[in-house]
Amino acid sequence: MMRISDMPREQIPWYPTVDRDKCTGCRVCVEFCSHGTYEFDEANGIAKVAHPFNCVVGCTGCEPQCPTGAISFPPLTVLTEPLSGKSDESCGCGCDCGSCG
């Protein structure tokens, strides 16, 4: 049975998304994440997920830090379905990246 640790990181659709309508530009997520997943978009005054594959698989530590609830993650099933042999056409995260669905 394949383990998630055996998969290339770019094939694991685990990373946050930032709701642009909820983000107030407080930079809490940028400062909290020690893996450099976020950058602050000066032009738009909001945080953005600039390096999604820097996010540690399974980590959601930044989500409760966001005071406005602008950060979300895909359902945990995106981590278990590839290992179970299911072959959905979409990973369910809504990323449209083309590499996971």
The domains located in the chain, with CATH, are 13-83 (3.30.70.20)
**1-15, 27-41, 45-59, range with the lowest pLDDT:** 1-15
For the cut 70, the answer to whether the pLDDT of residue 101 exceeds it is no
For the cut 80, the answer to whether the pLDDT of residue 26 exceeds it is yes
On the 0-12 / 13-18 / 19+ scale of CB atoms within 10 A, 37 is buried
Is pLDDT larger for residue 13 or for residue 84? 13
Rg of the chain over CA atoms, in angstroms? Answer: 14
Q: H or E stretch including 83?
A: helix 77-84
By C-alpha distance, which of 7, 6, 97, 101 is closest to 52?
97
For the cut 70, the answer to whether the pLDDT of residue 96 exceeds it is no
Measured CA to CA, the distance from residue 76 to residue 80 in angstroms comes to: 7
**pLDDT single digits (tens) 46-58:** 999 999 999 999 9
